[in-house]
Amino acid sequence: MTDEEVNLSGAVCPAPIQQRDRIVMGHGSGGKLSHDLIARKFIPAFDNAALRAGDDAGIVQANICTRLAISTDSHVVWPLFFPGGDIGRLAVCGTVNDVAMMGATPKYLTAGFILEEGCALETLERVLESMKAAAAEAGVEIVAGDTKVVQKGKADGLYINTTGVGIIPLGVEIGGALAAPGDAVILSGPIGDHGIAVLGARGELGFDADVRSDVAPLNHLIAALLNASEHIHVLRDPTRGGVATTLNEIARQSNVGITLYEQAIPVRPAVRAACEMLGFDPLYVANEGKLITIVGREDVERILEVMRQQRYGGESVLIGEVQSKSPGRVLLKTAIGSHRIVDVLLGEMLPRIC
Ligand code: MG
């Protein structure tokens, strides 16, 4: 592979990690290069069972009857404000969602700020107001924080790291390794809104797309889901790398095949138009307020009905099934009935999207 090639997702693909001795933008993509970096550098350095599970949050046993889900995420989105959201809402929702994807009830967050010298106090105040509102909506408290300032030019206004802790209710077992042949794949609504909204805010579309980010806390939707069925096996939010990368992770963790029905996957017309113009596949574009759940076939109708009654689940649909024929692979069943392989995101598609 040459230094920069473009793959089918529209992503620019740098050379593989083993040929490089420095970090490239693709290491932050959430796709193949991120996975390689984690597997080769971070897991060997910090190795333990919680990390090795490879889920959205690490699960630890706090005492004999309490399991905690702990997740952390740094937010470097540019610009800081975009249609439908901002870095503050993203920083709260991103971590709330990663904790909730383990079936946990998110309770407490911490927030660390890296502020650039010269950042307007009014900007910081807007971000804090937004975090306050998102935390109230999710029902979590921000109980510790940190502030560092770096010289002008060493950061883009501000960056935020959030860490979240949640309690996993007794009897709840959710994880990326629990998908089983025969299960159904459900998506909570149209894909690609967040990535396209941020690109639009950067002025990179060349036209007014009228797309708003979907950034939202999904913990109440998940609580309703867990209440509705005992057959919720996997929950994951398709953020960086999109639906395609997220489903590949699950297919590998569970050693199953996943077949997607192309025609069932909802994409708003404005997002589809922007993707066509930019040469992107919406399956790889980031979402910040959507979830994928893999559930026992017997409860699909009830689960869809419950999801559609929830604020952030109104457009939930069945998009695929789990099978045993192509372990570790995601296949897309096209409109004409053929199948094509959907791989993980290679390289970098949209840097600094979250
Ligand atoms: Mg996640």
316-325 per-position pLDDT tens digit: 999 999 999 9
Q: Helices in 1-62 by DSSP H: which ranges?
A: 32-37, 43-46, 49-52
Q: How far is the CA of 336 from the centre of ligand 1 (A)?
A: 32
Residue 77 contacts residue 286 (beta carbons within 8 Å): no
CA 147 vs CA 7, 144, 201: distances in Å: 40, 11, 27
Q: How far is the CA of 237 from the centre of ligand 1 (A)?
A: 5
Q: How far from the centroid of its chain's Cα atoms is residue 143's Cα?
A: 24
* Position 207 confidence tier, pLDDT thresholds 50, 70, 90: confident
Q: How far is the CA of 239 from the centre of ligand 1 (A)?
A: 6
45-68 per-position pLDDT tens digit: 999 999 999 999 999 999 988 999
Instruction: Give the CATH number for residue 99.
Output: 3.30.1330.10
Q: How far is the CA of 334 from the centre of ligand 1 (A)?
A: 27
Name the pairing type of β-strands 158-168 and 58-63.
unpaired
Q: Does residue 156 share a domain with residue 115?
A: yes
Supply the pLDDT for residue 33.
92
**349 vs 304: which has the higher pLDDT:** 304
Radius of gyration of the chain from its Cα atoms, rounded to whole angstroms: 19
Q: How far is the CA of 293 from the centre of ligand 1 (A)?
A: 12
Structure tokens at 27: 């290491």
Q: Does residue 337 share a domain with residue 188?
A: yes
Of all residues in the chain, what percent carry a pLDDT higher than 70? 94
Q: Does residue 157 share a domain with residue 235?
A: no
125-159 per-position pLDDT tens digit: 999 999 999 999 999 999 999 999 999 999 999 99
Q: How far is the CA of 277 from the centre of ligand 1 (A)?
A: 28
Q: What pTM was computed for the model? A: 0.94
Is 176 within the bounds of a domain?
no
Q: How far is the CA of 59 from the centre of ligand 1 (A)?
A: 14
Is 295 within the bounds of a domain?
yes
Q: What gap in Å lies between CA 227 and CA 303, rounded to an integer?
A: 10
* Position 8 confidence tier, pLDDT thresholds 50, 70, 90: very low
Q: Does residue 197 share a domain with residue 119?
A: no
Q: Does residue 326 share a domain with residue 199?
A: yes
Instruction: Give the range of the structural domain holding residue 31, as residue numbers without chain letter.
Output: 1-47
Structure tokens at 305: 């009905």
Q: How far is the CA of 58 from the centre of ligand 1 (A)?
A: 12
Name the pairing type of β-strands 330-333 and 85-86.
unpaired
* Position 29 confidence tier, pLDDT thresholds 50, 70, 90: confident
Supply the pLDDT for residue 321.
98
Q: Does residue 23 share a domain with residue 100?
A: no
Residue 177 contacts residue 254 (beta carbons within 8 Å): yes
Is 81 within the bounds of a domain?
yes
Q: Of 168, 199, 234, which residue sits at a domain end? A: 168
Residue 347 has pLDDT above 70, yes or no: yes
**Residues making up the chain, counted from first to last:** 354
Q: How far is the CA of 98 from the centre of ligand 1 (A)?
A: 5
